[in-house]
């Protein structure tokens, strides 16, 4: 009777691998001919257990756990806080033009020499990227208003304090893995803090550099971004809040341009 394995995967090169044929088989040596090699492979396969259980250290997975991630849609916007469909269509059209321009001119911008004070962090330096994009003041918890006031008072902008804007000469140097990594870092930061203009500029620029079709991790990240924007929008007290247009724009781009339509604001 054939084994279960042979029923599923019949032998294409049947060989006699009985006791007599395998007595002189040396597992530690190099096979001397094709027949000996095949006999060695079959014997090794027969000694493998039918079921193997992987030993996984749960601590190594803790950082990337997403068991609590929500897959639901966005918070509904308070009455009068969501944009019209026409506004959303206009933003998508403008965003598409920006993406095309970046793609067309990427080689030119990436060849531009950066100023001496632009020291881009290493790929794995998450805290360094937060400081680079948002500046020391925001990173350390100072309000954006205070940061803007200090910037206005200084004769020369100190980008180490207020963060480097997403200049085309900078974002054009980022490959897709870096774009996605940086999106994840900033969205994770945003999950626990308020929205600031520096963050909005970087999120817009990174979305403009994000290639389609989306990788699964990119799909998850931008949905997380839209949900966070909608959640924060639902807490605003006034339609005149300066954060509202930026939050609406990010939700619009994720939902309309990147086709996450279940998250879209309905007119």
Rounded Cα distance between 78 and 233, Å, is 8
Q: Check: CB of residue 118 under 8 Å from CB of residue 173.
A: no
Positive or negative: CA dihedral 212, 217, 223, 229: negative
Q: What are 201-243's pLDDT values in tens digits?
A: 999 999 999 999 998 899 999 999 999 999 999 999 999 999 9
Q: Check: CB of residue 244 under 8 Å from CB of residue 205.
A: no
Residue among 41, 35, 46 at smallest CA distance from 6: 46
- Return the pLDDT at 56: 73
Q: What are 57-104's pLDDT values in tens digits?
A: 766 665 555 544 444 567 888 888 999 999 999 999 999 999 999 999
How many residues does this entry show for the chain?
267
DSSP E strands, 199-243: none
Burial code (b: 16+ CB inside 10 Å, e: under 16) for 152-173 equals eeeeeeebebbbbbbbbbbbbb
User: Cβ neighbours of residue 9 under 8 Å, at least 6 residues apart?
Assistant: none
Q: Is the pLDDT of residue 8 over 60?
A: no
- Output phi, psi for 242, to 5 deg: -65, -15
Rounded Cα distance between 127 and 188, Å, is 12
* First CA to last CA distance, the chain: 68
Rounded Cα distance between 75 and 226, Å, is 10
- Return the pLDDT at 78: 85
- Return the pLDDT at 233: 95
Average per-residue pLDDT in the chain? Answer: 82
Q: Is the pLDDT of residue 22 over 80?
A: no
Domains located in the chain, CATH noted: 85-141+160-263 (1.20.58.1070)
Can you say how many angstroms the Cα of residue 168 is from the centroid of all Cα atoms in its chain?
20
- Return the pLDDT at 82: 92
Can you say how many angstroms the Cα of residue 160 is from the centroid of all Cα atoms in its chain?
25
Positive or negative: CA dihedral 100, 214, 230, 138: negative
206 sits in which H/E element? helix 197-209
């Amino acid at each position: 009777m054939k084994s279960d394995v042979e029923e599923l995967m019949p032998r294409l090169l049947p060989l006699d691998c009985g006791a007599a044929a395998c007595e002189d088989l040396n597992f530690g040596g190099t096979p001397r001919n094709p027949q000996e090699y095949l006999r060695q492979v079959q014997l090794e396969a027969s000694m493998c257990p039918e079921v193997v259980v992987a030993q996984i250290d749960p601590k190594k997975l803790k950082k990337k756990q997403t068991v609590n991630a929500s897959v639901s849609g966005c918070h509904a916007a308070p009455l009068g806080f969501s944009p019209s469909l026409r506004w959303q269509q206009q933003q998508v059209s403008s965003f598409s033009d920006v993406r095309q321009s970046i793609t067309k001119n990427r080689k030119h911008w990436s060849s531009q020499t950066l100023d001496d004070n632009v020291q881009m962090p290493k790929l794995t330096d998450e805290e360094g990227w937060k400081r680079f994009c948002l500046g020391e003041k925001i990173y350390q918890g100072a309000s954006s208003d205070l940061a803007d006031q200090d910037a206005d008072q200084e004769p020369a902008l100190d980008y180490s304090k207020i963060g480097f804007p997403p200049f085309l000469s900078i974002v054009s140097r980022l490959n897709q893995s870096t774009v996605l990594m940086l999106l994840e870092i900033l969205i994770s930061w945003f999950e626990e803090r308020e929205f600031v203009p520096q963050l909005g500029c970087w999120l817009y620029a990174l979305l403009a550099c994000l290639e389609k079709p989306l990788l699964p991790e990119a799909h998850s990240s931008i949905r997380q971004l839209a949900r966070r924007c909608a959640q924060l929008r639902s807490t605003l007290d006034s339609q005149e809040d300066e954060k509202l247009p930026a939050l609406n724009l990010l939700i619009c781009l994720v939902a309309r341009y990147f086709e996450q339509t279940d998250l879209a604001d309905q007119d």
